[in-house]
Amino acid sequence: MRVKLFDCAARHPAAAPDSPPAIRGLSIAVESGEQVAVIGPSGAGKTTALHVLACALKPTAGRIELGDRDPWQLSSRELRTLRGSLFLAAQVPPLPPRQRVVTAVLAGRLPSLSLWQSVRSLFYPMGMSLAADALARFDLADKLFDRVDRLSGGERQRVGLARGLVTSAELLLVDEPLSALDPTRSEQAISALTDGARERRATLIATLHQVETALKHFPRIIGLRDGALAFDLPSNQVTPALLHELYAQKLHELTAPSLPTPNFADNAAAPAPPVVMYCR
Ligand SMILES: Nc1ncnc2c1ncn2[C@@H]1O[C@H](COP(=O)(O)OP(=O)(O)O)[C@@H](O)[C@H]1O
Ligand SMILES: [Mg+2]
């Protein structure tokens, strides 16, 4: 699914009405099947932008297009159908604690099932092999019948991602998918996610705190700062200087063991040297 934001502004629903919007003047266009990572310091508006794209938050200014339609101009029925073709993976997936992992994963398919199929699936999960395959990609094949509340935070996060892979969503929006994972698990999870999205030709937009992972796995990087677009570039053009600038007021969020000293003078022209960096 192709998505576009035109000059969008939005604020968190709990934010004071007179507070500055969390995103403002944000315009981006992502083509069908593209994979994009959104990076930036905490508070930059990454989650807010994702919620606007998921039609979970109505922009206070500007316009959004999903597959050439403005979701906020649709009837509530049409909007519900459209939401069924999107998948938003929250940073902490809201999984019912007593549910079995298989049921939690297959809940991702509910929007594409009829009412009767949905009710039936509560008692007899359909598509068991689909859930098993998705879980295997995240190295959770042995957890199929475990209860969600017996899983670690990292396992729960991966169950939330596996859920995304069983949906028929054309747009996968993933918020900080690696926040509870160690580096090895992170590599595996991000590969599973990007491969799964590519196989299904779904558009994938992920916010990421791990800059190195974003640069390695995503061909395009959007940098957000103070709710506005700082840059929108192919990952091989994202230089250490740009990253320093992006995290300027929050450099403590960016640790770079082998970060070359930024050269702001020729930042725009030079091809990007290899960057190794980690964000806390
Ligand atoms: N729960 C909340 N209540 C009120 N305001 C919030 C809340 N969450 C976020 N905000 C506001 O939205 C801004 C952007 O937040 P967010 O989109 O979560 O940024 P990011 O995901 O980049 O860390 C914050 O700086 C804050 O002003
Ligand atoms: Mg966030």
Pair 44, 179 in one domain? yes
Closest ligand to residue 253's CA:
1
pLDDT in the model for residue 31: 97
Pair 191, 121 in one domain? no
For residue 17, how many other CB atoms are within 10 A of its CB? 6
Residue 258 — very low, low, confident or very high, per pLDDT cuts 50/70/90? very low
Average pLDDT of span 151-169: 94
Pair 173, 225 in one domain? yes
Pair 275, 186 in one domain? yes
Q: State which of 112, 136, 166 marks the end of a domain.
A: 166
Cα(46) to centroid(ligand 2), Å: 5
Pair 142, 205 in one domain? no
DSSP per residue over the chain, as a string? --EEEEEEEE--TTS-TTSPPSEEEEEEEE-TT-EEEEE-STTSSHHHHHHHHTTSS--SEEEEEETTB-GGGS-HHHHHHHHTTEEEE-SS----TTSBHHHHHHGGGGGGS-HHHHHHHHHS-S-HHHHHHHHHHTT-GGGTTSBGGGS-HHHHHHHHHHHHHHS--SEEEEESTTTT--HHHHHHHHHHHHHHHHHHT-EEEEE-S-HHHHHHH-SEEEEEETTEEEEEEEGGG--HHHHHHHTGGGGGGEE-TTPPPP-GGGTTTSPPPP---EE-
Pair 74, 208 in one domain? yes
User: Is 145 inside a domain boundary?
Assistant: yes
Quick check: 190 and 4 in contact, CB under 8 A? no
Pair 35, 68 in one domain? yes
pTM: 0.88
User: Is 107 inside a domain boundary?
Assistant: yes
Q: State which of 166, 193, 216 marks the end of a domain.
A: 166
User: Is 183 inside a domain boundary?
Assistant: yes
Give the pLDDT confidence of 6-62 residue by residue, as tens digits.
999 999 888 888 889 999 999 999 999 999 999 999 999 999 999 999 999 999 999
pLDDT in the model for residue 56: 93
Pair 176, 273 in one domain? yes
Closest approach atom of ligand 1 to CA 20: 27
User: Is 90 inside a domain boundary?
Assistant: no
Judge if the beta carbon of residue 45 lies within 6 A of ligand 1: yes
What's the mean per-residue pLDDT of the chain? 87
Report whether pLDDT(265) > 50: no
Pair 183, 270 in one domain? yes
Cα(129) to centroid(ligand 1), Å: 38
Number of independent structural domains in the chain: 2
Pair 52, 179 in one domain? yes
Average pLDDT of span 128-151: 93
Domain that holds residue 140: 95-166
Report whether pLDDT(275) > 50: no
- Looking at residue 92, its amino acid is V
Pair 106, 212 in one domain? no
Give the CATH number for residue 247.
3.40.50.300
Closest approach atom of ligand 1 to CA 40: 22
User: Is 143 inside a domain boundary?
Assistant: yes
Pair 139, 192 in one domain? no
Residue 93 — very low, low, confident or very high, per pLDDT cuts 50/70/90? confident
Report whether pLDDT(200) > 70: yes
Could you give the percent of the chain with pLDDT greater than 70? 85
Q: State which of 132, 166, 200 marks the end of a domain.
A: 166
Give the pLDDT confidence of 109-125 residue by residue, as tens digits.
776 666 666 676 666 66
pLDDT in the model for residue 154: 93
Average pLDDT of span 242-264: 67
Which comes out higher in pLDDT, residue 99 or 217?
Answer: 217
